[in-house]
Chain A
Amino acid sequence: MELLSYALGALSPVNLGLALLGVASGIVIGALPGLSATMAVAVLVPVTFGMAPESALIMLGAIYTGAIYGGSYSAILVNTPGTPSAIATTFDGFPMAKRGDGDLAVTLSTLASVAGGLVGVLALLTLAPLLAQVALSFGPVEYFWLAIFGLTLISALSEGSTLKGFMGAGFGLLLSTIGVAVVGGDIRYTFGSQVLLGGIETVSALIGLYCIPVLIDLVATPEAHLKVDEERRGIRLREGLGHAWLGKLNLLRSASIGTVVAILPGAGGSIASLVSYSEARRAARDASSFGKGNPQGVLATEAANNATVGGGFIPTLVLGIPGTPPDAVILGALLVQGFRTGPELFTTNASITYTFVAGLFLATCLLLPLGLLIGRYAFKSIITIPKALLVPTIAFMTVIGTYAIRNSVSDVLIMLTLGVVGWLLNRYGFRPSPIVLGLILGPIAEQGFVQGFLMGRASGAIVTTFFGGPISLTIIALSVLSVFYPLLKERRARRRGHDNGSSHQEASP
């Protein structure tokens, strides 16, 4: 009842207008490669300081929700994740757009984002104190195994050759070690260059590896960027709803994974979407169609990354430990508004907590009409804009987006170099996804591994440290399952096909 009164309060015309503005600006910023949700929230936080507390909280939630969703546009339409959490959306989103289903992919991403967002908010509202305890039980070793679990996705992403996938992931992991070591402070693989001391910025690398190869191939031929259907099919909402209904279990599972992963500080939307993609693929009957434009792939990743919005706030609000970087910025704004983290979340702080949750809920609901509207416009722009304008526009976004991350021209050059390397490797059958996976998971895996190693050495039980805990064992079991289940499934299908073939032969005269 209390929540309802706060929700009704949030529905005033001013707050509704601010939520609309927040979602729309979040979508636009999130869709631009290089501008992450963290940046969108950080840049717009000062704007909220002069507002009434409830309006400020609603607007912040709306910006964050919109930015996480907006990343899917560029992932689907130009194969460049607008935010790191949209990496996995490129796997099936871009192939869908290439074959002329970009409009459907955008609609699916909107529906999944709304569903995922609502699950995250619901978890924040009902399970916050309980789930926050899970975050506390994760130590360095568990993080290490979580990163390894993410890396098992390589076998799913390595189209053609798993060995090539391992080489690509190794390359990405080695790239992640450039610069100052996360533990110990060694300076590694900089070859004396000051520029490489800060390491390779993940978002710059993402832009380079995904976007530059697209640009290089775009200028080479006069053909259109995406296949365009003569027949105008609108937003294809009914078709999208059909896919979402078929994949309701996938949606629910992915949103739950997104919520749980987001509870772990530092894990973030990229790991959530990768893990949920891996699980969707493992559970699917037609696993081989993943990576080739399977709508369930888009549903899984988008449901997971938007569920991280609500999930990430669980440790932020209950423990004061931000689940994701934007949560840290919003926590700062909440503290300015008089919020105090801790067990009084739903008692002393109820007014702020409920208003904030109601704002998140409102923003997630607004995502549906706004997302479909802006998505349709983005899709139409991409397919109608002439190539001579599309290429410099995308190039401009990649350069300015990369530069804006650390105000560094060197990052732009690194991005371009990685883009050319990515294009060459792609030509020789190495997909960019395993490289990116290695680059993202490398620091998490290394930090967890080295800290776990030190803990184990200090206690004289390295093996028990790594293989002793129930959470570690569960993640190890899931990793083994993730690697071997597709192989077992394939073997079973082959055997079944063989048996059918023999019975046909026996039946025929």
Chain B
Amino acid sequence: MTDANRKLQAACSARSEFLLPLLFIALSGVCIWQARDMSQLGAVFPTTIALVTLVAAVMRIGQLALRGVRSNVGRGRGSTPRRVLLVLAMAAWALAMPWAGFLLAGLASFVTLMLIAQHEPWTPRRLMGHLITGGVLVGCFYGLFALLLNVPLPVGRWWMG
């Protein structure tokens, strides 16, 4: 077997392949450290699990160091700004929900996410169609959860005086 064949294929860059086990070692360390303040019964399980995770991470680093690692050059691409925007929009949605109410926050977020996910240019007809469909979908879900299933969805502190 040649040296190139023996090398492990990374899921990402070779450097990041080392980074993640190090993060797991840090996480396990924090968990073991925190377990000092727990009772024996409460600490035994998380400490054991943290130790197993730590050992697995150390073994992974050893495996990478011994066999070497090849960077993955063919990783999936895509628009990072859109990914970040999606996460930010959903976080803003969750944070705004208690204040603006479920329906308003839901409608605003639906439109925002619609704009983030659209890659082709908008035409007035497509925009109208999507907005109407979005309104109907949000209305249906709201009706199902709030009216039929009696889930107490937030009304919005801003509107409660």
Residues in A lying within 8 Å of B, measured CB to CB:
35, 39, 43, 160-161, 163-164, 166-167, 170-171, 173-174, 177, 181, 183-186, 188-189, 212, 215-222, 386-393, 395-397, 399-400, 403-404, 407, 409, 412-413, 416, 420, 425, 427-430, 442, 445-446, 449-450, 453-454
Contacts of B28 in A (CB 8 A): 170
Closest to B78 in A: A220
Do B87 and A391 touch across chains, with their CB atoms under 8 A apart?
no
Residues in B lying within 8 Å of A, measured CB to CB:
8-12, 16-17, 20-21, 24, 27-28, 31, 34-35, 38-39, 41-46, 49-50, 52-53, 56-57, 59-60, 63, 75-80, 82-83, 85-87, 90-91, 93-95, 97-98, 102, 106, 109-111, 113-120, 130, 133-134, 137-138, 141, 145, 148-154
A43 CB contact (under 8 Å) in B75, B150, B152: B150
Do A216 and B83 touch across chains, with their CB atoms under 8 A apart?
yes
Contacts of A420 in B (CB 8 A): 87
Do B117 and A177 touch across chains, with their CB atoms under 8 A apart?
no
Do B137 and A396 touch across chains, with their CB atoms under 8 A apart?
yes
Q: How far is the CA of A407 from the CA of B150 in the complex (A)?
A: 11
Do A222 and B63 touch across chains, with their CB atoms under 8 A apart?
no
Contacts of A35 in B (CB 8 A): 149
Q: How many A-B residue pairs have CB under 8 A?
A: 195
Contact A428:B57 (CB < 8 A) given known A391-B117, A396-B106: no
Do B137 and A450 touch across chains, with their CB atoms under 8 A apart?
no
Q: How far is the CA of A409 from the CA of B99 in the complex (A)?
A: 11
A220 CB contact (under 8 Å) in B41, B59, B82: B82
Q: How far is the CA of A189 from the CA of B82 in the complex (A)?
A: 33
Q: How far is the CA of A166 from the CA of B51 in the complex (A)?
A: 11
Do A173 and B56 touch across chains, with their CB atoms under 8 A apart?
no
Contacts of B52 in A (CB 8 A): 166, 170
Contacts of A39 in B (CB 8 A): 149
Contacts of A445 in B (CB 8 A): 45
The 10 closest A-B pairs by CB, nearest first: A220-B78, A429-B11, A186-B42, A170-B53, A222-B119, A391-B117, A392-B113, A184-B41, A166-B56, A388-B118
Q: What 9 additional pairs, Cβ within 8 angstroms, besides A35-B149, A391-B113, A400-B153?
A: A43-B150, A188-B35, A188-B42, A388-B114, A390-B117, A393-B137, A400-B106, A409-B154, A427-B12
Do A177 and B109 touch across chains, with their CB atoms under 8 A apart?
no
Do A186 and B97 touch across chains, with their CB atoms under 8 A apart?
no
Q: How far is the CA of A396 from the CA of B112 in the complex (A)?
A: 12
Do B110 and A167 touch across chains, with their CB atoms under 8 A apart?
no
Do B91 and A416 touch across chains, with their CB atoms under 8 A apart?
yes
Contacts of B35 in A (CB 8 A): 188
Q: How far is the CA of A218 from the CA of B148 in the complex (A)?
A: 31
Do B94 and A399 touch across chains, with their CB atoms under 8 A apart?
yes
A181 CB contact (under 8 Å) in B42, B76, B117, B130: B42
Q: How far is the CA of A185 from the CA of B41 in the complex (A)?
A: 9
Do A188 and B46 touch across chains, with their CB atoms under 8 A apart?
yes
Contact A219:B116 (CB < 8 A) given known A188-B42, A389-B134, A393-B137: yes
Do B38 and A186 touch across chains, with their CB atoms under 8 A apart?
yes
Q: How far is the CA of A147 from the CA of B87 in the complex (A)?
A: 34
Do B17 and A219 touch across chains, with their CB atoms under 8 A apart?
no
Distance to closest chain A CB from B155 (angstroms): 12
Do B87 and A216 touch across chains, with their CB atoms under 8 A apart?
yes
Contact A171:B149 (CB < 8 A) given known A221-B79, A429-B12: no
Q: How far is the CA of A438 from the CA of B57 in the complex (A)?
A: 16
Best-buried of B17, B39, B90 by chain A (most CB within 10 Å): B90
Distance to closest chain A CB from B65 (angstroms): 13
Do B11 and A160 touch across chains, with their CB atoms under 8 A apart?
yes
A-B contact pairs, 23 of them (CB 8 A): A39-B149, A43-B150, A163-B57, A167-B57, A170-B28, A174-B27, A174-B49, A174-B50, A181-B38, A184-B39, A216-B86, A221-B77, A389-B137, A395-B90, A395-B110, A399-B93, A403-B97, A403-B153, A404-B151, A409-B154, A416-B90, A416-B91, A428-B11
Contact A428:B130 (CB < 8 A) given known A391-B114, A416-B90: no
B38 CB contact (under 8 Å) in A164, A188, A388: A188
Distance to closest chain B CB from A58 (angstroms): 21
Do B130 and A386 touch across chains, with their CB atoms under 8 A apart?
yes
